Amino acid sequence: MSITILDGGLATCIEKLFQRHLGNGSLWSAKILAQEPSVITAVHEAFLAAGASIITTATYQASVDGFEKFLGLDRKSAIDVIRRSRAAGVKNGRAQRNDSDVPGDIAAHARRGLTKRLLFHYLLRLYRCANMSITILDGGLATCIEKLFQRHLGNGSLWSAKILAQEPSVITAVHEAFLAAGASIITTATYQASVDGFEKFLGLDRKSAIDVIRRSVLLAKTAKGNQGKTAEGSVGPYGACLADGSEYTGSYLNDATITNEFLKAWHRPRIEALLSEGVDVLAVETLPGAREAEAIADLLKEFPGSKAWYSFSCRSGTQTSYGEDIGESVSRVVRVGGPQVFAVGVNCCSPKNVTESILRIRVCVGPEIPVIVYPNSGEEFVPSTKTFCGSAFDIVELSEQWIAAGATLVGGCCRVYPDDIRRLSQKVKML
């Protein structure tokens, strides 16, 4: 007999994987179809990756009357939403996989991004989590300094880099706190450290500035001792050292003077200092756009044998902070960096968007490259006041979804503390 595998519950999958609460709505998944079509695509991808041969369009509760009544759409717009859901080969509302997809269709787009290799990989991730090797990262170093040591860094232009220069023992203590909580990877306190910044804000000469960056590696190595843990060298984007929040917009990438050669020259001293002291991997993080990632990946060719992970700040589950597609962004850096790319992923973003980002990244880069995720607590950073507002998410509870979606390196960023990492480590041991 020939057995055909169907998909599962699209709406309830949206609720579980993407934290959308549909139960009280009059349109159910049809509202997501109208307002967040990328979520529908991601759910189709998840079911196809799990082995389904048939996926159903998100039109179960979609109707012209419903869209007119509950969303205020006119008749033509309502019909366009329903058409958007379709795929080539639709029969009675069901889309089967084939090679004659119509460009722009949501279900068809989901099919085009998948390969047999990815299907197998995703099955392993989804159904054999207990056999996966998950690495726990640390949390937010600077916000931990603020909470545990009552240092107020928000209004400073160097953030934790000032503490690195003036109170190195505090940096060591934070590293030790995260390691004791269960982290296997700690990152140096160099996210906002630069030769320019130390010269401008602390009055250091170039040699002294580079010595401070080198010291960060010694502090991390001292903290980890012989525990078998690793120390990664934090490389924040150029925007972070502008201290204006532009790492969350990428606005500086619009400046014609910020060329790839400029970015390479600016990043070179810090990267050279970190590698000279023997960091295990470079953590190139909170990147708003792909162009800066490509520039750094190209720069690393000057340092054969070095490796780096590249993680992007994101405005949603599908877009980087600069507005580029997250899947295409990681694909671009992989093409440039080749075997020097250790991992790709997202950080310092809202936890609610992480699952969708992982699914998109996995579709684009396949199973060979590890996916790293370390979002912030979910509270929103306000650049003008350099404070956080809003409510936090429980990243520990969400982490199981991230691991099932394919993340193998998991931790936290701003306002994720040692207690959170301890709970995360315990959670992973139970999977």
348 is in an annotated binding site: yes
Q: How far is CA 130 from each of CA 145, 395, 407, 412, rounded to the nearest angstrom?
A: 34, 19, 13, 22
For residues 345 and 406, give the distance between their C-alpha atoms in angstroms, rounded to a whole number. Answer: 11
Torsion of CA 129, 182, 320, 19, to 10 degrees: 60
Written as six digits, the tokens of 277 are 């002291």
Q: How big is the chain, counted in residues?
A: 431
For residues 119 and 101, give the distance between their C-alpha atoms in angstroms, rounded to a whole number. Answer: 19
For residues 323 and 254, give the distance between their C-alpha atoms in angstroms, rounded to a whole number. Answer: 12
- Segment (H or E) for 387: strand 387-389
Hunting for tokens 């982290």 — which residue is that?
183
Residue 239's contacts (CB-CB under 8 Å, 6 or more residues apart) are 245, 246, 247, 248, 249, 250, 251, 252, 288
- What is the rounded radius of gyration, in angstroms, for the C-alpha atoms of the chain? 23
Residue 418's contacts (CB-CB under 8 Å, 6 or more residues apart) are 139, 144, 177, 178, 180, 181
- Classify burial at 44, counting beta carbons within 10 Å of its beta carbon; exposed 0-12, middle 13-18, buried 19 or more: buried
CB atoms within 10 A of CB 47: 21
| Contact (CB, 8 A) for 367 and 405 | no
Three-state SS at 59? coil
Q: Residues annotated as binding site?
A: 348, 413-414
Q: Residues annotated as binding site for Zn(2+)?
A: 348, 413-414
